[in-house]
Amino acid sequence: MNSPALLRCLLGSRKRAAVVVAFWVLIAGLLAGVAPALESVEDNASANLPPAASDSMKARDLVRAQLPGQDATPAVIVVRGKGTDAEASAAQAVAAITSALSGTSRPHHVVSVVSTVTAPDAAAGLVSQDRGAQLVIVPMKGSPSDESFQNAVDAVRDLASDRAGPADVAVTGPAGIATDTVKVFSGGDKVLLLATIVLVLIILLAIYRSPLMALVPLLAVGVAMRVAETLGAILADAGIITVSSQTASIMTVLLFGVGTDYALIITARYRETLLDEPDRARAMQTAVRRTAESVLASASTIVLAMFALLVAASPALHGFGPYLALGVAVMALVAFTFIPALVLLLGRGVFWPGGVDKAAERGRGAGIWHRVAALVARAPVKVASAVIALLVVLSAGLLGYQESFNTLSGFRAATESERGQHLIQEEFGPGEIAPSTVVVHSQDSLRSSPAPAGIATALTDADHVSRVADPRMGKDGKTVFYEVVLDLDPYSSKALDAIGPLEQATRSAAQAAGVQDATVLIGGETAQNADIRSALDRDTILIVLLVLAIVTAVLVLLLRSLLAPLYLVATLILSFLATLGATTFFTVTVLGDDGIGNRVTAYIFVFLVALGVDYNIFIMSRFKQELRTRPPAEAITAALTRTGGVVSSAGLILAATFAVLMTQPIRELFQFGFAMAFGILLDTFLIRPLLVPAIVRLLGDRALWPARQGTPKAPSTPASGPPSAGVPAARAADTGSSLLLRAFSWIAIIEACTWAGLLAGMYLKYIPETTELGVRIFGALHGAAFIVYVSLTVLIAIRLKWRLGRTTVFALLAAVPPFMTVAFEIWARRTGRLPQPAADPSPTPAL
Predicted confidence at residue 729, as pLDDT, reads 46
CA distance 292 to 287: 8
CA distance 156 to 100: 9
Q: What is the 3-state secondary structure of 514-544?
A: CCCCCEEEEECHHHHHHHHHHHHHHHHHHHH
Least confident of 21-30, 136-145, 430-439, 702-711: 702-711
> 732-759 pLDDT, tens per residue?
445 544 554 555 555 555 555 555 555 5
Quick check: 426 pLDDT over 60? Answer: yes
Predicted confidence at residue 506, as pLDDT, reads 93
CA distance 281 to 283: 5
Max distance between CA atoms of the chain, in angstroms, equals: 112
Predicted confidence at residue 621, as pLDDT, reads 84
Quick check: 436 pLDDT over 90? Answer: yes
Band (716; pLDDT cuts 50, 70, 90): very low
Residue with more model confidence, 812 or 370: 370
Band (422; pLDDT cuts 50, 70, 90): confident
Band (664; pLDDT cuts 50, 70, 90): confident
Q: Specify whether the CB–CB gap between 161 and 97 falls below 8 A.
A: no
Q: Which fold has domain 417-708?
A: Multidrug efflux transporter AcrB transmembrane fold (1.20.1640)
CA distance 449 to 506: 17
Band (840; pLDDT cuts 50, 70, 90): very low
Q: Specify whether the CB–CB gap between 9 and 16 falls below 8 A.
A: yes
CA distance 133 to 110: 23
> 101-123 pLDDT, tens per residue?
988 888 888 988 999 999 888 88
Band (633; pLDDT cuts 50, 70, 90): confident
Computed over every residue of the chain, the mean pLDDT equals: 80
**Strand order across the 168-172 sheet:** 133-140, 73-80, 168-172
> 75-86 pLDDT, tens per residue?
999 999 988 888
Quick check: 774 pLDDT over 60? Answer: no
What is the pLDDT averaged over residues 406-425? Answer: 80
What is the pLDDT averaged over residues 250-257? Answer: 86
Q: Specify whether the CB–CB gap between 119 and 136 falls below 8 A.
A: no
Predicted confidence at residue 726, as pLDDT, reads 45
Band (572; pLDDT cuts 50, 70, 90): very high
- pTM (2 d.p.): 0.74
Band (674; pLDDT cuts 50, 70, 90): very high
> 309-361 pLDDT, tens per residue?
888 888 888 887 889 999 999 999 999 899 999 988 888 777 777 666 665 55
Q: Specify whether the CB–CB gap between 344 and 281 falls below 8 A.
A: yes
What is the pLDDT averaged over residues 412-426? Answer: 84
CA distance 701 to 714: 13
Band (778; pLDDT cuts 50, 70, 90): low
Torsion of CA 580, 582, 583, 585, to 10 degrees: 120
Quick check: 634 pLDDT over 60? Answer: yes
User: Among 290, 228, 276, 273, which Cα is nearest to 254's?
Assistant: 228
Pairing mode, strands 596-597 and 403-404: parallel
> 202-233 pLDDT, tens per residue?
888 887 778 888 888 889 999 999 999 999 99
